[in-house]
A and B are shown apart, each in its own frame.
Chain A
Amino acid sequence: MRLAPRIAFAALFLSLARFTVPGIATAVREAIELRPLPVEERRVEMFGPFYEGVMKAAATLSPDEPIAFLVGDDFGTGLFMNFYLFPRRTALYADVDSYRAGQDAPERIILAGGEVRFIAYAEARAAEMGTSHVAAPLEPSAETAMQFDIPLVSSGDGPIRDRYTTEAVMVNAGDQEATVTIRMNPAGRVATVTLAPGEMRTWNDLVYQLFSTLDAGWLRVQADQPLRSRFWFVNRAVPDADVLPHATFARSFRIPHRAGSRIWLLNPHDRRLPIRLGEGEHFLDPRTLVPIEWPVDLVVTSEAELYVYQSWRDASGATYFHWPEGS
């Protein structure tokens, strides 16, 4: 080479070496540091606790058991775990709705981004909902009560995207600490809540938060202090929140026919309750809540008090209720 090209080449070479030399030096240094470690420990060192947690969790399963990853926006992490766990089958879902919609979705779920462990679907659902509420404003009623019944509560999923919860607010209106006993029927689960005087507590998925399960039914609430409260039936997918009144029991209810509606029959007693639906004789099991469809106007009568109401939904998924006064 002549002199001018040599100088030009040297300048060009230095412009490359300025970045390449430190880059290669970093890689070599890292290699020297990692070299004493077994390969898996090198990856733990490089990719941190999530990698380690997933590999340990996966090792507890049989090799052919698939794993679902709920990854949110972070599909990269999911794809990498798919890479490391291969040939174990994995499935990546952005959210709980995608998981629900997935065909053959694996039963085992790992939530990306958090502590690495298998979680139940209900827990994943709760984690995704976080603490956000649909009902607004989240204020209790002005009236107080020490015992009341909420005719419908739910924590569960409807058709894809429909996600039902019960939101609630409770305030201890007394001047003593309140012990509130909440019984979920017909399952019979019982939870106790303690509220300091004036304390307000809220729930965005009451049934799951109190009973750690996805279920539907009705609630009996008993407190040793007066409570101000309000409950909402929520479909988070719409989003839609309907205030749930206290059940007002009576022996006879008249329900007008509405196409596509459901009629709910609530037996608050600990015994079977004979009832008359139109012209027919039937029984309601103890503490049960039974939905039925009825093709014409319906009169429900019984020897003892019960509660009857009606619900329907529109195309958007919003739910509507008719809370009749009985007689």
Chain B
Amino acid sequence: MTGAIITAIAFPLIGAAVARLAGGGPRFLLGVGTTGFVLYATMLLRLPMLPVMIVLLLAAIAVLASFPRRAPRESVQTSAAATVVTIAPVVFLLFASAIIPLRDYDGRAFWVLKAKAIANERMVDGPFFRGEHGPNPKNEYPLLVPIANAAVMVAGGSSDDLAIRWMYVLALGSFALHARRYVGAWPAALIPWLPQFAISPEGGALSAYNDIFLAAFAGCAFFELVERASPFRFGVWLSFLVLTKNEGLPFAVLLLAAAVVIWRRRLPAALPAFGAALCTLLAWRSRVEPTDDDPLILLLSTLPERTERLLPAINGYLAYAGDLEQWGLFWIAVALAVILLAMRRDWRTLAVPLILMIGMSAVYIAAYMVTTWQLQDHLAASADRLLMHLVAPALYLIGSAARPRAG
């Protein structure tokens, strides 16, 4: 329970300080991202983990004590009913995850194992990541979330997986509550009700896959962009995205490309955080060897020879989007929202979400085409989780379509 309490207090505290400096943002997600990013970079610089954690916490308290709270941005249009609907599944999931030990595949085989290794070695390139300790599968997966997990383990003095179970549920809740401002209270309330987010054993809040975090960080970056809010915060979210999963880098690049068009001269404010994350990732990658994952960048050169997999990959990907058990009518609703917005000729609303959804889907389908996996196996193992990453732009379309036509 100590880990759960640390999770529920320390990350929001750090996130609140960052939000105070950056002018807003979901505290829990900002806290996890900042902790993971700062520790990632400082451990690469050989700074000791625990003192950095303490400094981070003290700095957060100092910021909160020193910087006045800014006047809130325009208030969120919400209702008590929508709030209850949003929070209810999160409460039940918090209860379950506080008691049930981790049981999913990737969480145990890869992600939380990395967290244990970091907590044990206090390094991100130590013996475990050099393959000197034992099995270190998926060694090249970025470490932001495992580092945040490890911080909880170190602070709580236990590397039991129960210590970090709340992180995933709270990330889901934080994402849903944050999305209300941008997509509307009721569309945002759908997020914790999506079976793939709430209960899927592979990627859901009761597992320790990192797709909720990736979806949330991508969503937060998307909201900043589409609402033309803060290029600085946009850069911060991109930095978290890059350090969370391999899919984060192409997603960040795509978001950045869209930001070039939207922000033009304001864009440089986004670049320092993104650049720092990219440098951190590259520096870390130069110190660890990949183990057992497909070298997708190299395999992309085989794309012209794998065209026979294009249609099966698209069909398979879409079939998973239509899987009622994981998605209900969600993606059908997204398709209807696109049609409605197109009929309204609301191209401005449609453009960015569609570019991101189609762009990232193209990246994923290209990966399915060149992978050494059997296509059906690869789709079964990943399609639902990849679709999670696109939920924020998809909800934005639903929310926009549900609103009365402007004028």
Contacts and interface: CB of A to CB of B under 8 A. Distances in A.
A92 B96 contact: no
Given A39-B162, A80-B108, A18 B93 contact: no
Interface string A15-39: 1111110011001101100110001
B198 A28 contact: no
Given A1-B402, A2-B404, A28-B92, A82 B99 contact: no
Contact of B89 (A24, A80, A86): A24
A9 B198 contact: no
A86 to B, nearest CB: 5
B55 to A, nearest CB: 26
Nearest to A19: B195
A46 interface: yes
A185 interface: no
A24 B198 contact: yes
Given A18-B328, A79-B109, A86-B120, A27 B199 contact: yes
A90 interface: yes
A24 B96 contact: yes
A23 B197 CA distance: 11
A79 B96 contact: no
Interface string A257-296: 0000000000000000000000000000000000000000
Interface stretch (B61-69, B129-137, B343-351): B129-137
Interface string A74-86: 0010111011001
B134 A82 contact: yes
A108 interface: no
Contacts of A315: none
Interface residues of B, number: 47
A39 B324 CA distance: 34
A20 B199 contact: yes
Main secondary structure of the interface of B (DSSP, over half): helix
A83 B199 contact: no
A231 to B, nearest CB: 41
Nearest to B325: A19
Interface stretch (B12-20, B110-118, B251-259, B305-313): B110-118
Contact of B135 (A27, A30, A92): A92
B198 A35 contact: no
Contacts of A15: 324, 328-330
A20 B193 contact: yes
Contacts of A80: 108-109
A25 to B, nearest CB: 8
B195 A23 contact: yes
Interface in A32-59: 34-35, 39, 42-43, 46-47
B190 A79 contact: no
Interface in A198-218: none
Contact of A79 (B95, B108, B193): B108
Interface in B296-326: 324-326
B263 interface: no
B194 interface: yes
Contacts of B404: 2
5 contacts: A8-B336, A12-B330, A13-B190, A19-B324, A86-B116
Interface of B: 89, 92-93, 95-96, 98-101, 103, 105, 108-109, 112-113, 116-117, 120, 133-135, 137, 159-160, 162, 186-187, 189-190, 193-195, 198-199, 206, 324-330, 333, 336, 401-402, 404
Given A1-B402, A76-B109, 14 more contacts: A5-B402, A15-B324, A16-B330, A20-B195, A27-B96, A28-B92, A39-B162, A42-B99, A76-B105, A80-B108, A86-B120, A87-B133, A90-B135, A91-B135
**7 cross-chain pairs, A with B, having the tightest CB-CB distances, nearest first:** A23-B199, A15-B328, A27-B96, A16-B328, A79-B109, A31-B99, A15-B329
